[in-house]
Amino acid sequence: MSRTEPPTRWRSVLPHLDEQPPPDLTPPTAGGGSVQVNLPMQLVRQSVQQKEYWDIPAEVVDAYRAFRPTPLWRARGFERAVGARVPVYVKYEGGNISGSHKLNTALAQAYYYARAGVRELVSGTGAGQWGTALAAACAMFGMKCTIFMVGNSLRRKPYRGTLMRTLGATVHASPSTLTDVARRSEAGVNSLSLAIGEAVEYAARTEGAAFCIGSGETYSILHQSVIGLEAADQLAGLDAEIDAVVGCVGAGSNFGGIALPFFSAAATVGTRPPLLVAAESSTTPKLTRGTYAYDHTDATGTGPMEAMYTIGSAYPIPDSHSAGLRFHGAAKVLSAMRHRDQIEATAVGQVEALEAGRLFTRGEMVLPAPESGHALAAAARLAGSGAEGNNGPLRAEKGVVVCVSGHGYLDLGAYQQLLDGELSDEAPDAQALRLAMGDLQRVDRLAEAGSGHER
């Protein structure tokens, strides 16, 4: 790949997994049938086929050229600020209209849906990056766009809504007055799961519309592989050695995008991959405190159930500024890899995350999103005294590459609270976690019962 051109192929991790993720479970509907998810066939193929490289459509490559390749540099100022023992390299995805990595898959999905005849795309968004990315992609491919954004997040960041509307999208605060799922929700509930549930319901009843998702699906993670492919090439150009790769995790597209190409490259030549460390919010600790079970991806309770690390789709997630990480479950590909100890996870509180973001801003003159601050905090741990992972302490000995998934220029309210000493962390309630996970079908128990889903 030329260092002045974006990749022309995505790279899938599926051919390199010893076991594929367990199949989805489709629950029955009231009429006795099942919910059908209408995906363009190419997205279906990208989710299941054991094909390593996928050609990126020429129209999508042309769109990528406006902002890719994205920059990678050694963050020496940040290293000094956090007392790093080893180099820390940063892959920055915030330099596009959406302000985040989300545009990589939004452009691809809008392209495929438009070719399939869909006229309107509908989705839910937490922090707003995905909603902005989808609005931009729909504008580029001549489609309507409707977004349900987590209400607390939209109130904190009203200009996210303004930007989406400037791009032609219709934006609703979730919970809204438009859907049955919102009317049935508990008072005061604000979650990405609910926003997604509203979008699913709205799309199902709107002619010419389709629901699309920006993070947890296998095809979305495939599209994000451009991040890791570029990063590996750029690190090689710098003769840089790294033994740890870090990204923040909501459902997983950012972490999957930066990390999985390194896993695939190592599997191809039979070497040990770097530490692949997912940094999650301590308010939503699915990979560090969750269970590997079948759960819903949204709040409707009607869509397919996926095998995921989850704290339960019914769990009332504590509020935080990292709305993009406030999703109850992790992508099924990442969950399967976590189950086999192929990736690690560590939880970070929002105070530590925003403090890492503040130090990064002063050292590197780039303001990261609160979500990205979680990855920077984890990278600082790995490059310093170490981090706590799934199976014990984690420590980088050569170098760390971390994905700064987006900018924080619409998150200055969070930094203001940090500077004023008003920011705090709300720990998940242990009893509520147990209740939310208690009735879920654990994957290992299904295996013991002879379901064919083996650990």
Q: Classify residue 398 by its DSSP letter.
A: S
Q: Is 9 exposed, middle or buried (CB count within 10 Å of its CB: 0-12, 13-18, 19+)?
A: middle
Query: For position 455, what pLDDT does the model report?
Result: 32
Query: For position 362, what pLDDT does the model report?
Result: 98
Query: For position 421, what pLDDT does the model report?
Result: 95
Q: List the strands of the sheet with 144-150, edge to edge.
A: 170-174, 144-150, 120-125, 209-211
Q: Would you say residue 35 has pLDDT above 50?
A: no
Ranking 26-30, 124-128, 274-278 by mean pLDDT, the lowest is 26-30
Please provide residue 345's backbone torsions phi and psi, each rounded to the nearest 5 degrees: -140, 150
Assign 377 a pLDDT band (cuts: 50, 70, 90).
Answer: very high
Q: Would you say residue 285 has pLDDT above 80?
A: yes
Q: Would you say residue 452 has pLDDT above 70?
A: no
Domain spans of the chain, in order of start: 62-98+219-434
Query: For position 453, what pLDDT does the model report?
Result: 36
Backbone Cα Rg of the chain: 20
Q: How does the average pLDDT of the chain come out, rounded? A: 91
Q: Give CA 140 to chain center in angstroms.
A: 23
Q: Would you say residue 348 has pLDDT above 90?
A: yes
What's the whole-number mean pLDDT along residues 161-165?
Answer: 97
Assign 27 a pLDDT band (cuts: 50, 70, 90).
Answer: low
What's the whole-number mean pLDDT along residues 413-434?
Answer: 91
Query: For position 67, what pLDDT does the model report?
Result: 97
Query: For position 34, what pLDDT does the model report?
Result: 38
Kindly state the tokens that stand for 103: 């545009």
Ranking 294-298, 379-383, 418-422 by mean pLDDT, the lowest is 294-298
What's the whole-number mean pLDDT along residues 314-327?
Answer: 79
Q: Is 207 exposed, middle or buried (CB count within 10 Å of its CB: 0-12, 13-18, 19+)?
A: exposed
pLDDT digits (tens, 9 = 90+) for 165-216: 999 999 999 999 999 988 887 766 777 788 988 999 999 999 999 999 988 8
- What proportion of the chain, given as a percentage, has pLDDT over 90? 76
**DSSP letters along 66-125, please?**
TT-SPPEEE-HHHHHHHT-SS-EEEEE---STTSBTTHHHHHHHHHHHHHTT--EEEEEE
What CATH number has the domain spanning 62-98+219-434? 3.40.50.1100
Query: For position 337, what pLDDT does the model report?
Result: 97
Distance CA 449, CA 437 (A): 19
Integer CA distances (angstroms), 449 to 25, 46, 178, 225, in order: 16, 30, 42, 36
Query: For position 125, what pLDDT does the model report?
Result: 92
Q: Would you say residue 30 has pLDDT above 60?
A: no
Assign 21 a pLDDT band (cuts: 50, 70, 90).
Answer: very high
Assign 26 a pLDDT band (cuts: 50, 70, 90).
Answer: confident
Integer CA distances (angstroms), 134 to 37, 197, 231, 314, 368, in order: 19, 17, 24, 26, 21
Ranking 24-28, 88-92, 324-328 by mean pLDDT, the lowest is 24-28
Q: Would you say residue 31 has pLDDT above 70?
A: no
Query: For position 316, what pLDDT does the model report?
Result: 83
pLDDT digits (tens, 9 = 90+) for 359-372: 999 999 999 999 99
Assign 428 a pLDDT band (cuts: 50, 70, 90).
Answer: confident
What's the whole-number mean pLDDT along residues 225-236?
Answer: 98
Query: For position 193, what pLDDT does the model report?
Result: 80
Q: Would you say residue 319 has pLDDT above 80?
A: no
Q: Would you say residue 29 has pLDDT above 50?
A: no
**How many other CB atoms are found less than 10 A from the CB of residue 83?**
10
Report which residue type is found at 152.
N
What's the whole-number mean pLDDT along residues 144-173?
Answer: 95
Ranking 60-69, 145-154, 267-276, 294-303 by mean pLDDT, the lowest is 294-303
Query: For position 6, what pLDDT does the model report?
Result: 97
Query: For position 447, what pLDDT does the model report?
Result: 53
